[in-house]
């Protein structure tokens, strides 16, 4: 089962199991010997995007798949995670390839807005200083709404990029271990839509991550997740630490953010086990917010309840 679009354009979770597509390839990253350490192979990324989007959507090709999730003329926010800089951010090459596909789906470049908390993070992660086909905006440049959004445990002001500049969000997290939250993926990526994530890192970010994702202005714009697990940070995250990036050559596709993170967590645990690292639960860092999000009806956190499709390209 895949997600379907309502008349308003909002993706509604299907009644059955949510599908998560895991696309693996042999080599999506090439060692460059300097700077970020790796360059992404655009050809490999394109093949992964094609395969993942088709498998998720059931459409004939990637642009048709994207057209299923985004209306022509809509302004699409590409929410990347650029906090850790070039070495552990959503790969700019992935966004470049996706941007081309969005163009083919009649989402023009000027309607594609890459955003994150700070303009400096966008620059540091490779999204600034160059002429790109899409716009890049930091929340610090666009500002936040004056009015507060009330949640059960906290309150926040929303990014004006989210509220005024985009109609839909394509969530593009990078998979990382996180010393406070356990892991960071699609759900935590939405901390980049509020003004005060610094207030939400207590108690393993639980229930804060779930509550932020339940805010209608955030939840209703989420259409698609493409998680960058090309080179996850397996320990000591979320900042980049030398030696903590593990090449996995994986992209994860989903419309259910909780399911995407649940499958991402499994991959993270595999990579940690390969290095002899304890499970996050044993390390006292289990991301309990996944179950909370599931309880709040935001998606599925039980692996048995997820239709996981793995594709090798």
Partner 1 sequence: MLSRRDFFLSCGGAGCALAAGVSAGSVLLPARGAFAAQAPRAYPARFWKKLPNKRIECELCPKHCKVEDRERGFCGVRENRDGEYVTLVWGQPCAVHVDPIEKKPLFHFRPGSRAFSIATAGCNLECKCCQNWDISQSKPEDVDFRFMPPEEVVRSAKEYDACVTFTYSEPIVFLEYAIDTAKAARKAGVRATMVTGGSGEAEPMKEVLKYLDAVKVDLKGFTEDYYRRMCKGKLEPVLKTLEVIRASGVWLELVHLCVPGQNDSEPEILAMCRWVKTHLGADVPVHFTRFHPEYQMKNVAPTPNATLVRCREIGLAEGLRFVYTGNVPGLAGENTSCPKCGKVVVARRGFELEELHIKAGRCAFCGTTIPGVWS
How far is residue 287 from each of residues 44, 77, 155, measured CA to CA in Å? 31, 26, 22
133: CB partners within 8 A, 6+ apart: 96, 99, 100, 103, 109, 112
Question: Of the two residues 86 and 223, which places its CB atom closer to partner 1 in the complex?
Answer: 86
Among 47, 239, 291, 313, binds partner 1 (CB under 8 A): 239
247 contacts 37 by C-beta, under 8 angstroms: no
At residue 276, the 3 state secondary structure works out as coil
Among 93, 116, 121, 206, binds partner 1 (CB under 8 A): 121
310 binds partner 1 (CB under 8 A): no
Query: How many residues touch partner 1 (CB under 8 A)?
Result: 22
211 binds partner 1 (CB under 8 A): no
How far apart are the C-alpha atoms of 207 and 201, rounded to whole Å?
A: 10
Question: Of the two residues 10 and 195, which places its CB atom closer to partner 1 in the complex?
Answer: 195
The vertex-85 CA angle with 257 and 255, nearest 5°, equals 15
How far apart are the C-alpha atoms of 184 and 201, rounded to whole Å?
A: 12
Residue with tokens 């939405």: 190
Among 59, 106, 123, 236, binds partner 1 (CB under 8 A): 236
Among 148, 217, 273, 281, binds partner 1 (CB under 8 A): 148
116 binds partner 1 (CB under 8 A): no
Among 74, 96, 140, 307, binds partner 1 (CB under 8 A): 140
198 binds partner 1 (CB under 8 A): yes
85 binds partner 1 (CB under 8 A): yes
Looking at residue 228, what DSSP letter applies? E
17 binds partner 1 (CB under 8 A): no
- Residue 111 C-beta: closest distance to partner 1, Å: 27
Count other Cβ atoms within 10 Å, centred on residue 99.
18
H helix intervals, 34-152: 42-57, 62-69, 92-104, 119-124, 139-142
202 binds partner 1 (CB under 8 A): yes
164 binds partner 1 (CB under 8 A): no
Q: Where do contacts with partner 1 occur on this chain (CB under 8 A)? A: 83-85, 121, 124, 140, 144, 148, 150, 154-155, 179, 195-196, 198-199, 201-202, 236, 238-239, 241
């Amino acid at each position: 089962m895949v997600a379907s679009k309502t008349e308003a354009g909002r993706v509604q979770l299907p009644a059955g199991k949510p599908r998560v597509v895991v696309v693996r390839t042999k080599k999506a990253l090439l060692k460059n010997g300097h700077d970020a350490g790796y360059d992404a192979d655009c050809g490999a990324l394109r093949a992964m995007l094609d395969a993942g989007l088709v498998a998720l959507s059931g459409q004939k090709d990637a642009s048709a798949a994207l057209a299923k999730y985004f209306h022509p003329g809509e302004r699409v926010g590409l929410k990347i995670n650029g906090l850790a800089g070039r070495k552990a951010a959503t790969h700019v090459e992935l966004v470049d390839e996706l941007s081309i596909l969005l163009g083919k789906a009649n989402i023009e470049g000027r309607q594609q807005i890459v955003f994150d908390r700070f303009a400096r993070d966008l620059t540091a992660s490779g999204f600034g200083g160059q002429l790109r086909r899409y716009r890049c905006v930091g929340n610090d440049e666009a500002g936040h709404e004056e009015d507060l959004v009330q949640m059960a445990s906290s309150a926040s002001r929303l990014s004006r990029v989210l509220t005024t500049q985009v109609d839909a969000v394509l969530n593009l997290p990078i998979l990382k271990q996180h010393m406070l939250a356990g892991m960071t993926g699609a759900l935590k990526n939405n901390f980049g839509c509020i003004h005060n994530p610094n207030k939400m890192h207590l108690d393993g970010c639980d229930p804060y991550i779930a509550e932020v994702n339940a805010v209608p202005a955030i939840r209703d714009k989420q259409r698609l997740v493409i998680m960058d697990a090309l080179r996850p940070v397996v320990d000591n995250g979320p900042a980049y630490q030398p030696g903590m990036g593990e090449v996995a050559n994986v992209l994860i596709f989903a419309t259910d953010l909780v399911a995407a993170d649940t499958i991402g967590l499994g991959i993270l645990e595999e990579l940690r086990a390969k290095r002899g690292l304890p499970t996050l639960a044993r390390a006292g860092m289990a991301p309990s917010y996944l179950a909370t999000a599931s309880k709040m009806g935001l998606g599925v956190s039980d692996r048995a309840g997820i239709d996981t499709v793995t594709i090798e390209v």
